[in-house]
Amino acid sequence: MIWNEAKECMSRDQMTALQSARLVKLVDYMYHNVPFYRKKMQAVGLMPGDIRSIEDITKLPFTTKDDLRDNYPFGLFAVPNSQIVRIHASSGTTGKATVVGYTRRDLDIWAECVARCMTMAGVTKDDIIQIAYGYGLFTGGLGAHDGAQKIGATVVPMSTGNTKKLTTMMLDFGATAIACTPSYLLHISEVLAEEGVLDQVKLKRAICGAEPWTEKMHHEIETKLNIQAFDIYGLSEVMGPGVACDCEFHKGLHVCEDHFYPEVLDPATLMPVGDGETGELAFTTLTKEGLPLIRYRTKDLTSIDHSTCECGRTSARISRFKGRVDDMLIIRGVNVFPSQIEAALVEVDEVTPHYMMVVDRVNNLDTLEVQVELDQKYYTDEIRVIEALTKKIAHVIQQALGINAKVKIVEPQSLIRSQGKAVHVIDKRKLY
């Protein structure tokens, strides 16, 4: 089912016309209501009249997370507090919280977007859905709540923290859907398995988001619980969950494009790249009133596809995230992300998932060495087996990255493991 066929299936020409009209209006609105952004425009000699269509968007200055922090708490709001009806905030790992404000209309549009996403995941008014995101300053709980309620589903606002109560109610109520983070859902599935009640679960679908998850986790969730799992995406700065979601074909996440204009930017030039090419995702909130943002850089790496999906929706799809811009390396002019190596190595059974990239510059040429550990099951007493494996991995990496890498097989447990953010790159080049 499609929640809003008029918007989700409009022709590309119609969509471009709608986005153009909304951008023109937005720029005028920002110029007159957000002094910080007006100054940004003035700094590059731009007047609202210079923006006539969506193609002109590349003339506009970017907005970053630092801009939000620098204007803490309400500096970027476009309306007085009398029109703000809700505040959410995300506590960053560094620095101040990022505060976002919504008008009544913003909340309506948010619920509309989440309703589209949940409908994509197959949720209907007949579903009993447990919302197991945190309720509070975090956008996850209330965002998912309002969307599910708009569909007319029976909403159970569980929040997080009491898994025992959640599993009990899941069984007692016969819950058919759940919205939570993928890691929490895996935990829930383990609890259900321990209790020996997996076969009594009526769950059919899960809408998971708020953290990156791998294809492997996706598969694990689906098989353990015998459900379909969907990926919902959003970020509080832009709105919250519901910016994009994947449909039953799982070929990228459909963006609610009439409200959030997505751009994928070359990390080096910051110019938009073509369909299928990897770059940094940026959003322009085309209809937001409270905290509208123009070209907000998400730092998430993705690619975009504007072709019509098998589900019938014409809205652009963004791929599952390929990493963060901060992790990017430029080797021999090619943008390389550690996550690409990680994904490539998953295909190779003979090595563990641990790896280290060593980048150096020898005679003015960049070199890349990828160190991997042989999996215990594949230890050998023959040199040629290791040499063949080295070649195989080099080929897999070449296919994934488009550059040649030297592969070095190292002793087991010799690559650094860490509980938190693992170090995967040693860059020995002195470039700056």
Partner 1 sequence: MFAKQLTVFIENRTGRLAEVLGVLRENNVNILSLSLADTTEFGLLRLIVDNAAAGKEKLTEKGFSSLLSDVSIIKIPHKVGSLQELLKIIDKNGVNIEYMYGLSVKCDDAFIVLKASDGKKVDEILTANGVGTITCEELAQI
CA nearest to 133, candidates 72, 104, 90, 196: 90
**What is the DSSP annotation of 22-56?**
HHHHHHHHHHHH-HHHHHHHHHTT--GGG--SGGG
Nearest distance in Å: CB 78, Zn ion: 33
Q: In the chain, count of helices (H) and strands (E)?
A: 11, 21
Smallest gap from Cβ 281 to Zn ion, in A, equals 18
* Alpha-helix runs per DSSP H in 232-357: 338-346
Q: Cα separation of 324 and 202, whole Å?
A: 37
What does the alpha-carbon distance between residue 238 and residue 20 come to, in Å, rounded to a whole number?
19
The C-alpha atoms of residue 373 and residue 120 are separated, in whole angstroms, by 41
- Residues in contact with Zn ion by CB under 5 A are 247, 309, 311, 313
Nearest approach, Cβ of 90 to partner 1 (angstroms)?
A: 41
User: Are 129 and 175 spatial neighbours (Cβ–Cβ below 8 Å)?
Assistant: yes
Nearer to partner 1, 173 or 379 (CB): 379
Query: By the criterion CB under 8 A, which residues form the site for partner 1?
Result: 374, 376, 379-383, 386-387, 408-414
* Residue 412 interaction partner, one of Zn ion, partner 1, none, beta carbon < 5-8 Å per kind: partner 1
> Residue 1 or 388: which CB sits closer to Zn ion?
1
Residue 399 binding target from Zn ion, partner 1, none, CB below 5 to 8 Å by type: none
For the beta carbon of residue 112, count every other beta carbon within 10 angstroms: 20
Shortest approach of partner 1 to residue 422 CB, angstroms? 19
In the bound state with partner 1, the residue whose beta carbon lies nearer, of 307 and 380, is 380
**DSSP secondary structure string, 43-103?**
HTT--GGG--SGGGGGGSPPB-HHHHHHTTTTTT-SS-GGGEEEEEEE--SSSSPEEEEEE
User: Residue 137 corresponds to which tokens in the numbers above?
Assistant: 């300053």
Residue 408 partner contact from Zn ion, partner 1, none using kind-dependent CB cut-offs of 5 to 8 Å: partner 1
Residue 382: name its binding partner from Zn ion, partner 1, none (Cβ under 5 to 8 Å by kind): partner 1
Question: Looking at beta carbons only, is 216 or 408 nearer to partner 1?
Answer: 408
Q: Decide whether 70 or 387 has the Cβ nearer to partner 1.
A: 387
Q: How far is the CB of 373 from partner 1 (least distance, A)?
A: 8
Indicate which of Zn ion, partner 1, none lies near residue 311 (CB less than 5 to 8 Å, by partner kind).
Zn ion
Instruction: Indicate the residue among 198 and 386 with the shorter CB distance to partner 1.
Output: 386
